[in-house]
């Protein structure tokens, strides 16, 4: 296989990758509702003549390029759902859907994989092994799209899997990753404190859930700072507080909703145990009650040593890269973790920071430098190539 020739072909796909990305950016769809996005992707594969299966685990699509040379079967994954955010960018490709926006780069992930597929398809007779192109819905909202696709056999016969995330926090075309844990497990919890409401002027006749909620907020924040080993990364954030609807009424209940991020299961179990202990202690002292609904979300993204070394140790071989950085784990979550629980592989960031436009992921002004698209495609191809050469 002439890999340099494929890289050149990827560069030649740049305009089409931008066109695909901008179309998808203008027509975003939320998790589990990506019908038109799925149809757009399958239409592109129909144009190319690349075989695929659709409606896997929802709106998931899997295309396959059977190489003409003997080799392994390696999967490359891109997600394609958007977020419930009103876009604030003033650009020609601004979202046309009120309250929905590609604020995390998934439009770019999709166009990257489509561009790579077109570049490889023209040289498939010289390709070693089989390239499996996974287009996954519903990454943004647990339970996510990865698990249903895996349950329906998307990894059957696959030897390894690689994925990338266009990353606005990293300089353009810089590749970032970590050995072992790379992105955090992402859990969700909802706490309901059941007290006894009454008149705001007669608090002695009530069991005030607002006071209990306030104490719980303070105490829960001390789990990470005082109960977890300082060398273990963890986050506990309360993002929503609900109680009452009048200034002079003590409500019956208060609700706290938040997230926990962890890098290992032992820390996760410790946090759940401590949350339960704290809530029990506070509510018992008020002769009240509580309910903790703790939902374990995506597991930790754990890169496999051999496969991530293709990037951290050999990433400078990627055409167009501006550097390689081994970075600390990021506490954001990613359901790519499920693939890595099933098969060896690696997940990495491709820097896509847009100069003068420094907005993070999930921000209404989020955007990427589209020059990262071909680099991301070449980096995925690099993982595919290295796995074929080393196995």
CATH of the domain at 210: 3.30.70.360
CATH of the domain at 38: 3.40.630.10
What local confidence, expressed as pLDDT, does residue 386 receive? 98
pLDDT in tens, 2-41: 999 999 999 999 999 999 999 999 999 999 999 999 999 9
Indicate if 354 and 376 belong to the same structural domain: yes
What local confidence, expressed as pLDDT, does residue 46 receive? 98
Helices (H), 27-105: 35-48
Helices (H), 57-121: 106-121
Asked if residues 164 and 350 have their Cβ atoms less than 8 Å apart, the reply is yes
Structural domains counted in the chain: 2
What local confidence, expressed as pLDDT, does residue 16 receive? 98
204 is in an annotated binding site: no
What local confidence, expressed as pLDDT, does residue 187 receive? 97
Distances from the Cα of 219 to the Cαs of 211, 238, 275, 280, 281, in angstroms? 12, 12, 9, 12, 11
Asked if residues 98 and 185 have their Cβ atoms less than 8 Å apart, the reply is no
140 is in an annotated binding site: yes
Which strand (E) or helix (H) includes residue 12? helix 3-12
CA distance 341 to 265: 13
Report pTM.
Answer: 0.94
Nearest to 38 by CA among 148, 134, 147, 168: 134
104 is in an annotated binding site: yes
What local confidence, expressed as pLDDT, does residue 204 receive? 97
Indicate if 127 and 81 belong to the same structural domain: yes
Annotated catalytic residue within 20, 34, 81, 274: 81
Phi, psi dihedrals of residue 164, rounded to the nearest 5°: -135, 155
Indicate if 35 and 71 belong to the same structural domain: yes
Q: Which two tokens stand for residue 91?
A: 């650009």
Asked if residues 115 and 10 have their Cβ atoms less than 8 Å apart, the reply is yes
Residue 274 falls in the annotated catalytic set? no
Indicate if 260 and 325 belong to the same structural domain: no
Nearest to 164 by CA among 174, 155, 154: 174
Q: Is 177 left (phi over 0), alpha (psi -120 to 50) or beta?
A: beta
Indicate if 114 and 153 belong to the same structural domain: yes
Domain boundary among 297, 327, 357: 297
Indicate if 291 and 309 belong to the same structural domain: no
Contacts of 130 (CB under 8 A, 6+ apart): 64, 65, 66, 67, 71, 72, 73, 74
Mapped onto helix, strand or coil, the DSSP state of residue 134 is strand
Q: Which residues of 220-249 are buried (b: 16+ CB within 10 A; e: fewer)?
A: beebbeebbeeeebbebebeeeebbeeeee
Indicate if 254 and 308 belong to the same structural domain: no
pLDDT in tens, 41-90: 999 999 999 999 999 999 999 999 999 999 999 999 999 999 999 999 99
What local confidence, expressed as pLDDT, does residue 147 receive? 98
Domain boundary among 297, 312, 344: 297
Annotated catalytic residue within 79, 139, 159, 208: 139
Give the structural domain span for 131: 3-182+300-390
Nearest to 18 by CA among 323, 369, 370: 370
Indicate if 122 and 240 belong to the same structural domain: no
CA distance 387 to 391: 6
Indicate if 202 and 324 belong to the same structural domain: no
- The shares of helix, strand and coil residues in the chain, as percent rounded to the nearest 5, are 35, 30, 35
Q: Which two tokens stand for residue 108?
A: 């770019």
Indicate if 94 and 194 belong to the same structural domain: no
Q: Mark the ranges of the chain whose per-residue pLDDT is less than 50.
A: none
Domain boundary among 272, 297, 322: 297
What local confidence, expressed as pLDDT, does residue 295 receive? 96
**Beta partners for 349?**
165, 176
Residue 81 falls in the annotated catalytic set? yes
Indicate if 151 and 64 belong to the same structural domain: yes
Contacts of 64 (CB under 8 A, 6+ apart): 50, 51, 52, 130, 131, 132, 133
106 is in an annotated binding site: yes
Indicate if 177 and 285 belong to the same structural domain: no
């Amino acid at each position: 296989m002439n890999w340099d020739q494929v890289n050149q072909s990827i560069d030649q796909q740049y305009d089409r990758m931008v066109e695909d990305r901008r179309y998808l950016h203008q027509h975003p769809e939320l998790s589990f509702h990506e019908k038109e996005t799925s149809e757009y992707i399958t239409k592109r594969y129909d144009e190319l003549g690349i075989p695929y299966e659709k409606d896997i685990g929802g709106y998931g699509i899997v295309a396959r390029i059977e190489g003409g040379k003997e080799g392994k079967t390696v999967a490359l994954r891109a997600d394609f759902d958007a977020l419930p955010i009103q876009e604030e960018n003033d650009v020609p490709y601004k979202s046309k859907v009120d309250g929905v926006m590609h604020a995390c780069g998934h439009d770019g992930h999709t166009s990257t994989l489509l561009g790579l597929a077109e570049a490889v398809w023209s040289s498939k007779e010289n390709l070693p092994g089989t390239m499996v192109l996974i287009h996954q819905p519903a990454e943004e909202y647990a339970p996510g799209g990865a698990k249903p696709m895996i349950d329906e056999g998307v990894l059957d016969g696959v030897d390894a899997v690689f994925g990338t995330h266009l990353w606005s926090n990293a300089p353009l075309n810089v590749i970032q990753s970590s050995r072992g844990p790379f992105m955090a497990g992402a859990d969700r919890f909802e706490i309901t404190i059941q007290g006894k409401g009454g008149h705001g002027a007669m608090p002695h006749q009530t069991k005030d859930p607002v006071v209990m909620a306030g104490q719980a907020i303070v105490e829960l924040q001390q789990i990470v700072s005082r109960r977890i080993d300082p060398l273990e990364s963890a986050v506990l954030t309360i993002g929503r507080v609900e109680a009452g609807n009048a200034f002079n009424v003590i409500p019956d209940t208060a609700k706290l909703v938040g997230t926990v991020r962890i890098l290992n299961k032992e820390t996760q179990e410790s946090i759940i145990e401590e949350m339960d202990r704290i809530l029990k202690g506070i509510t018992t002292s008020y002769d009240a009650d509580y309910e903790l609904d703790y939902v374990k979300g995506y597991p930790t993204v754990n890169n496999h040593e051999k496969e991530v070394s293709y990037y951290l140790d050999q990433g400078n071989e990627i055409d167009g890269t501006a550097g390689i950085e081994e970075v600390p784990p990021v506490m954001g979550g990613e359901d790519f973790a499920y693939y890595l629980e099933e098969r060896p592989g690696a997940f990495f960031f491709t820097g896509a920071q847009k100069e003068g436009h420094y907005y993070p992921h999930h921000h209404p002004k989020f955007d990427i430098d589209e020059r990262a698209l071909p680099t991301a495609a070449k980096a995925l191809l690099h993982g595919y190539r290295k796995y074929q050469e080393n196995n």
